[in-house]
Structure 1
Amino acid sequence: MNPSWLSVYGRRRVLCLLGLGFSSGLPLALTGSTLQAWMASEKVDIRLIGIFSLVGLPYTLKILWAPVMDRFVPPWLGRRRGWILLTQLLLAGAILALGSFSPARHILIVGILALSVAFLSASQDIVIDAYRADVLPDEERGAGAATSVVGYRLAMLTSGALALILSDHLPWPHVYGLMAAAMGACALFTFLSPEPRNPHEAAPVPSTLREAVWMPLVDYFRRSGAVEMLAFIMVFKLGDAIAGAMTTPFLLDIGFTRTEVGTVNKAFGLAATILGTLAGGGILSRIGIHRSLWIFAFLQAVSNLGFTGLALLGRNYPAMVGAVAVENICGGLGTAAFLAFLMSLCNKRYTATQFALLSSLMAVTRVLAGAPTGFLVSTLGWPLFYAVSTLGAVPGILLLPRFAPWARSEEATAGRD
């Protein structure tokens, strides 16, 4: 019997993922937009600020060292929680160190420390993703994915918007010191998080590093349709990626102020995304991953048409609120289902490596899909651009019968344990 969509969120495994999701999301802005704001406030050359975007490279390359975290087990708290605790403590120290040096006077040291924070953050992402896939039974994967996303989004708000607000009242080193303290406090959730409770959930550790590197790929690619599955992963949220890349320039271009865009598209949009992810996780627990993917794929596609309507209306505040709400709710629904789907594909013996591979493909799509959007807008105009963006959902929908058939058991595409 399926649990109610609310009761599943009260389970310890699911609740602890809120804190682990927060821990995963906190460092991102501290080496990105928040660090850029600090550098700009100290009059660092804009060219150097642009170069600092390269410190985000570890997030796209994490597949290279994920096998190490599958192979070796720290001597405390077990295979997954041990690595989580270690990366959290190292991150707290690295963030504190990063905040101790002025970008204007110590740019090289700041660059090295920022790269270190990004590397440790990507490493933490690897093992938290693996832990989530290992510890959650099938019926809790949707709720667990949703809870993780909510925690992640709240953390980005904390290290992004809240950190900027604090910087108007406190010196930057103090702001980073507070963020480091918050990072250290996240270790509490690691201690509270449960271990997998039976051998089925806790698969044996690879016996050699070679096995940890090679066997996850062998295990994945020997499955029927493995390459096509990678294509499906890359295109499922393609329409969302195309539309999302231009949302802020679009809203500013049709006459909304920066304050209106920040309030509605960022703050209200975050609340809508959280609502969508939580609802998506609950729906998954009732109808399963495959049927949810079908429903949410069509909702994601249709939601882009709200911006077509707004483009035709022009500067209309209620229409903007409605379009942003629908797009973010539907995007949250799709994200919850898709993360649960990725978890179902991973063999628990190699979760860290396989999930790093699959999630990296999602990131590649987001980057590549955004590149041509400016040319499309200049050619098509805003109304037609958003109408055409709905076609980005078509490849994923066409592949749904192959990889997420409505009527077939979800075990058919799940990773072997």
Structure 2
Amino acid sequence: MSETAAGPKPGWRAVGRALGNRKTGFMAVFGFAAGLPYSLLLGTLYAWLSDAHVDLETMGVFSLIGLAYAFKFLWSPALDRLNLPVLKRLGRRKQWIVTAQILLGAILVTLSRLDPVAALGLFSLLAGIGAFASATQDIAIDAWRVDVADDVATIDMLSTVFQMGYRTAALVGGAVSLILADRIGWPTVFLTMGVILLAAGAICLFAPDTNAEAQEARADEASGELRSAGQLSPGVRTIALGGVGLLWGWALVTVVIFMIRSLGSDPAQRPDAMEFVAGTGPLIVLATIMLPSAIAAVLVYLQRKGRHLLTVDAPDQGMGGQALDHLYRALILPLTELVGRMGWGLVLALALVLTYRICDSIWGTFAYPFYLGELKYSKDEVAIASKFFGVGAIVLGLALGGMLLTVLGRMATLTLGAVLAAVTNLLYADLALGGARMAVLSDVLGVTWLVEHLGGEPRLGALMVTIGTENLATGIAGAAYIAWLSSIVSKRYSAVQYALLSSLTLLVGTLGRGALGRMIEEQGYYRMFVLVTWIGTLAIVLSLLEWWRTARSSTNSAV
């Protein structure tokens, strides 16, 4: 999808048309429904467990449910090929989205009726199922966004609205839930959140979607085309499928074994989750993305060179042959389509995926130690600056990013987001040196005056301005990044391709945090922020190269 072909000419009227489209409204609901369980299960739930005096070691085991999000691409092919009995009439994507929302709502309601100490086993099982359902919902929603985008509800606007709904849900599931818990108790909070998700499931029944039966018929037709003259021979396809199948099978078995070992009764035998993600995570990405992409590149090369092709239509091989064809379509064709369409541009796209969000992800683990330990802010001050003021700023940034996408264009906004994400690290560098410049900026903007008149310490203004500016930049960059990533995905294989590409961003921060932590201990936060700024310049360069590639591709396709 080229930028020109993805939607109407940039302009403010296009923004109004997109915001008034019903697809955009449902995208906001989908975004909220995706962000709420993530915030509750991977954040707020630990506050409840802490209040219930569950030990830290047990809570560490609970954190493993986050792996469902990190490795959700492993079951993404199923969502492109399988339909749920009876529910497939809802639509190709909606059948999974609505089912996940209702299941999540029921799980949260059930959790509200349980004692996390007395029923810890059932409690953890439900939380794990909830994380799996939430990750599955994310796969389907990402694919739905790509599938239903058109010239009015553009992929840029849908991506922005999704992020706004997601971030709003993070505020509701995080800060708002914490405040409510002190007043109405955790069971009532989770009951309320469960009812909200059940209501979202009911609302989303009326969302538009592609037809599952029509898609299934097209898939069967495409499977038949695999055996027609001019296609790769069944022997070559079987070898490729066997190689990719072994790689994906190893990844699935590795994750399952890790989960089983982690849930064992002997704490001493439980593996370290961070070591698994940092050590085995890259191997899983290599086995499920990099090596299969190389195999797909070989298949594309053979097809284009006319080697190992069928000269006549191959006969139907029965149920076994049809099963292999379906597996080939699920695992191989999404990759061959991507490689064939993008060529060497896919290498650039993968490099951009790996680096674009690194500025705001790699040091996130050290944010609270920086605020509380290094800068000596109180917990209340950090909560005000990061949760309420910060979330407001990121939602504003997303709104601004959506406007810029429509007015300036996707690649200009993507590049601007990379610049802002890199430069805003220098604001934190100033805080690490004492925050003199940020204090002056806070005075000029009137934030210091506002903080003082609300009874706060004047120095809080510098933190609020820094976090607010960074989150504003993160919102712009996030809106542009999701829109760009969605634009390079094919509608035919949206679930698999988007899940594969987006998964690359989840492990990057984890892989660099160990080295970054040592650097902070040895050289301090200031040098770390300067280093992250320099790392961000790589994303700027790659954004410019991708802009050039996209423009060139659009020009060539127009000739």
Deviates more, 1:78-87 or 1:114-123: 78-87
Residue aligning to 1:3: 11
**1:364 corresponds to 2:507:** yes
Matches within 5 A, 1:10-409: 10-73=20-83, 74-137=87-150, 140-195=154-209, 204-205=218-219, 208-222=326-340, 223-225=342-344, 226-252=346-372, 253-314=374-435, 316-405=459-548, 408=551
AA of the residue aligned to 1:217: L
Partner amino acid for 1:240? D
Greater mean deviation of Cα atoms: 1-10 or 156-165: 1-10
Q: CA deviation at 1:171?
A: 4.0
Partner Cα distance (1:410, 1:185) in 2: 44
Counterpart-to-counterpart distance in 2, 1:152 and 1:184: 17
Offset of 1:141 from its aligned partner?
2.1
* Aligned partners of 2:354 and 2:504 also within 8 Å: yes
* Higher mean C-alpha deviation, range 302-311 or range 379-388: 379-388
Which stretch of the first structure deviates more once superposed, 170-179 or 352-361? 170-179
Compute the TM-score of the two structures, normalised by the length of structure 2: 0.69
Task: Give the aligned residue type for 1:337.
Answer: A
The answer (yes or no) to whether the contact 1:143–1:278 under 8 Å persists in 2 is: no
Q: Is this contact kept in 2: 1:136–1:144, CA < 8 A?
A: yes
RMSD over aligned CA atoms reads 2.5
Q: How far is 1:59 from its partner?
A: 0.6
Shift, 1:327, TM fit: 0.6
> C-alpha displacement at 1:405, in angstroms?
1.7
For residue 372 of structure 1, give the secondary structure of its aligned residue in structure 2. Answer: helix
State percent identity of aligned pairs: 33
Q: Is the 8 A contact 2:76 2:495 kept in 1?
A: yes
Cα separation, partners in 2 of 1:383 and 1:122, compared to 1, 3 Å: same
Structure 1 CA distance for aligned equivalents of residues 123 and 190 of structure 2: 13
Deviation track 1:328-354 (CA, whole Å, cap 9, x = no partner) reads 111111110010011011111110111
1:202–1:154 CA distance, 2 compared to 1 (3 A): farther
Secondary structure in 1 matching 2:117: coil
Tell me the alpha carbon deviations over residues 242-273 of structure 1, each in whole angstroms, 9 at most, x when there is no partner. Answer: 34333222122212111111101221110110
CA–CA separation in structure 1 for the residues paired with 2:504 and 2:525: 28
Provide closer, same or farther for how the CA distance between residues 279 and 35 of structure 1 changes in structure 2, counting only shifts above 3 A. Answer: same
Maintained 8 Å contact 1:281/1:336: yes
**What is the Cα deviation at residue 138 of structure 1?**
6.2
Which residue identity lines up with residue 522 of structure 2 in the other structure? T
CA-to-aligned-CA distance 1:220-254 (integer Å, 9 cap, x gap) = 23431224422220111212223433322212221
Give unmatched runs, 5+ long, in structure 2.
Answer: 1-8, 224-325, 440-458
Shift in Å, 1:6: 4.6
Deviation for aligned residue 1:43: 1.4
Offset, 1:410: 6.8
Q: For 1:230 and 1:412, how far apart are their aligned partners in 2? A: 22
Aligned residue type for 1:195: D
Give 1:100 shift.
2.5
Q: Distance in 1 between matches of 2:103 and 2:328?
A: 27
Shift of 1:183: 0.5
Deviation at residue 305 of structure 1 after TM alignment: 0.9
Partners of 2:146 and 2:173 in 1: CA distance: 26
Give the direction of change, closer, same or farther, for the CA distance of 1:341–1:14 in structure 2 (3 Å limit): same
SS at structure 2 position matched to 1:101: coil
How many aligned positions are there?
411
CA contact (8 A) 2:79 2:495 kept: yes
Q: Which moved more, 1:385-394 or 1:325-334?
A: 385-394
Distance 1:265 1:96 in 2: 29
Return the letter of the residue paired with 1:287: L
Equivalent position SS for 2:66: helix
Cα deviation 1:78-137 (Å, max 9, x = unaligned): 101122111111111222223332221121111111100000000000000100111123
- 1:134–1:202 Cα contact (<8 Å) kept: no
Q: For 2:184, what is the secondary structure of its paired residue?
A: coil
Which residue identity lines up with residue 69 of structure 2 in the other structure? Y
SS at match of 1:32: helix
Shift of 1:321: 1.9
Is the 8 Å Cα contact of residues 241 and 369 (structure 1) preserved in structure 2? no
CA contact (8 A) 1:163 1:175 kept: yes
Give the CA deviation at 1:175.
Answer: 2.2
